Structure 1
Amino acid sequence: MTDDAPADGPDRTPENDGRTGGLGGNDVPVVALDASALMAPVEADLRLFEELDRLLGGYEAVVPAAVLAELDGLQRGNGAEATAASVGADLADRAEAVETDESYADDALVALAAAGRVDAVVTNDGPLAKRVLTADAPVIGLRGRNTLAITEP
């Protein structure tokens, strides 16, 4: 009789794969969402999840707790940014919340990418995109008016 229950701690995929099975647990790519990506439906008229579907087919979306905290702070303000952050926070419910040791959102996203816990980071933040690419992970970002594209490291 075999035990199909997951062991405590992250479940690793075969060596050199770079991904943990702990987030996705399957063969679809895992993408981490930044606040700028989650706010893009309001700020850039982007249909975020439809574009990810078009670009990737199947995928699993995750959002670090630090990004959720950033959105929470932004939506407490006034104006268009607060509205975009409120929509972003609602959209974040469609992704799995993940914990990291980092309290700053950009650092959390780079750490997930560098550790191979995600296959790509979705962001419209130029400096963050450069950091993710330096961590040898792809970036999915806005190209053109309202289309996403992948930039490889």
Structure 2
Amino acid sequence: MAPTVAVDTNAFMMPVELDVRLFDELNRLLDGYEPVTPQAVVEELRKLSEKGGNEGIAASVGHDLATERCLILDTDATYADDAVVELAREGTAEYVVTNDQPLQQRALDASVAVIGLRGKNKLAITQP
């Protein structure tokens, strides 16, 4: 069975902000996977996309990626980071994709591997 990968808000914004080809990189790292994201992340991307500017553009692209490429899951948490951690802690996600250092640590503390930026535009896996 393919591992489940929970994608955080800032990961969806990487294609615009950091020129990272998110799903190409996930394909390179993992031999098949199921991308998921909490509803709270989709909502955060929607709100950020209304701001305009580079952040708004990145969030708009991220929102499209989330809704087109990921299974969107409901969680008890309404704050995006807490929702991602909830997926990790309950065993729904075997990987968390984020560049947020505190969130990376929370995922590792929950014994979930983290996929984050290494170098200019490549992703790498950190095991707990």
Band of TM-score, shorter chain: over 0.9
Which residue is equivalent to 2:30?
56
- Write the letter of the residue equivalent to 1:134: D
Provide structure 2 residue ranges, at least 5 long, that are not aligned to the other structure.
none
Deviation of 1:78 (Å)? 1.8
1:105 matches 2:80? yes
**Count of matched residue pairs:** 127
**Structure 2 residue corresponding to 1:137, chosen from 90, 112, 115:** 112
Higher relative contact order (CA 8 A, sep 6+): 2
Provide structure 1 residue ranges, at least 5 long, that are not aligned to the other structure.
1-26
Which residue is equivalent to 2:17?
43
Larger of the two Rg values belongs to structure? 1
Which residue is equivalent to 2:47?
73
CA RMSD of aligned residues (A): 0.6
SS in 1 for 2:69: coil
Structure 1 distance, partners of 2:54, 2:31, is: 31
Structure 1 distance, partners of 2:112, 2:9, is: 18
Which protein is richer in helix relative to its size?
2
Which residue is equivalent to 1:15?
none
Which residue is equivalent to 2:97?
122
- Write the letter of the residue equivalent to 1:42: V
Deviation of 1:136 (Å)? 1.1
Q: Once superposed, which parts of structure 1, at least 4 consecutive aligned residues long, lie more than 4 Å away?
A: none
SS in 2 for 1:97: strand
Structure 1 distance, partners of 2:65, 2:92, is: 21
- Write the letter of the residue equivalent to 2:116: G
Instruction: Give TM-score, length-normalised by structure 1.
Output: 0.82
- Write the letter of the residue equivalent to 2:48: L
